[in-house]
Chains A and B, each alone.
Chain A
């Protein structure tokens, strides 16, 4: 135990020092391109990096980092209007390695000619998920790509997996067991168990619909955004039309159960 203590202490000091010295960078996808900034660690103020923005020939949509913060993926090859709003389908995914000064270096084989969409990375950096909105009224889908050691992407067996209509955004369980996909037009949330292979299996009861009391009626929510509590206890879904937040408990089976007192009342404008 004594030896262990002496071994751990310098390691912890080193980790703490590395964390405090490491620069943070902000990346912003704005439809036409990708902006890169360094962040002042004390004030939070932003400085645009040299060479930014990176411009794409088609629309650029969702971006995601792996959990080391060294790999960045961007959905590309989408449609874009003059104001910068971009929309799918996204026909490719660009992958980058982030080097020490925040510059983006293309990964081997990038861009990958695979379907993009709303992106999220598994907490153990095994998989990249891409929710494709699809073409209304046809259902959307979720593609799963294994992240190879060099950062390149390889579709897992069975990918893509069927989602609801208007698959819009993804949240990932912090333990990597489940993913949650909001389906805007289907007005519900699909929950999938993630198998070791990356194959997705809908959990019993999926999809789950949030409801909002309205007089004597229960209105179904139109989910547009979703996040998972980092402690694995709760899931939050933002609704566009009713402008509220539906809160769920995240059960060990993956099933969603709307919390008593939810949704949170509409807020704003401010």
Chain B
């Protein structure tokens, strides 16, 4: 889970359930649903980490090895729009350890990873 630097949005990695953005009600403090992002294809499954750039302009989310747990690790980047809606940045999803055609069988351990902790420099 991560919060943007202005306290406007909350981003929650929900594992197999997907990835969710909430807008924070500045009066009540309660998070209100804004956008749910599908786990998508096999490659995008299982969000386990999330971070926000210090400007609040970009959000990055890390995905573990899919379902079943034998796919490649991936990352997705999102641009935060004026209303908080997220859109994928060019090149997303990324497979920094290598992509894998899962139809040929389980991915090798060399491309598997669990990207649970992520930070962006100011």
Contact = CB atoms under 8 A, between A and B. Distances in A.
Contact of A269 (B14, B69, B89, B121): B14
A264 B113 contact: no
Interface residues of A, number: 64
Contact of B120 (A24, A62, A225): A24
B114 A268 contact: no
A17 to B, nearest CB: 15
Contacts of B70: 83
Nearest to B88: A44
B84 interface: no
Contact of A83 (B28, B69, B75, B92): B69
A83 B109 contact: yes
Interface in B17-58: 17-20, 22, 24, 28-33, 36-39, 49, 51, 53-55, 57-58
A268 B13 CA distance: 11
Contacts of B89: 40, 43-46
Interface stretch (A65-73, A124-132, A159-167): A65-73
B85 interface: no
Contacts of B7: 229-231, 233-234
Contact of B113 (A32, A48, A72): A32
Given A28-B49, A67-B122, A268-B36, A84 B114 contact: yes
A239 B96 CA distance: 30
B3 A230 contact: yes
A227 interface: yes
Contacts of B28: 259-261
A233 B6 CA distance: 12
A238 interface: yes
Given A46-B75, A243-B14, A245-B31, A267 B1 contact: no
Nearest to B32: A264
Contacts, number: 189
A85 B3 contact: no
A44 B62 CA distance: 15
Given A26-B118, A69-B54, A31 B113 contact: yes
| Most chain B CB inside 10 Å of its own CB: which residue of A24, A28, A72, A82 | A28
B65 A29 contact: no
Given A30-B114, A64-B119, A86-B114, A268 B69 contact: no
A29 B2 CA distance: 16
A46 B38 CA distance: 21
Nearest to A29: B117
A68 B7 CA distance: 20
B58 A44 contact: yes
A44 B57 contact: yes
Interface centre among B78, B89, B121 (most CB of A within 10 A): B121
B77 A44 contact: yes
A31 to B, nearest CB: 4
B14 A268 contact: yes
B100 interface: no
A82 B113 CA distance: 8
Given A26-B120, A230-B7, A45 B90 contact: yes
24 contacts: A24-B121, A24-B122, A27-B120, A29-B115, A33-B113, A37-B96, A44-B79, A48-B96, A61-B117, A64-B119, A84-B113, A86-B116, A236-B1, A243-B17, A245-B1, A245-B22, A247-B29, A259-B30, A267-B20, A268-B17, A269-B16, A270-B17, A270-B36, A270-B37
Interface of A: 22-33, 35, 37, 39-40, 43-46, 48, 52-53, 61-65, 67-70, 72, 82-86, 98, 102, 225-231, 233-234, 236, 238, 243, 245, 247, 249, 259-262, 264, 267-270
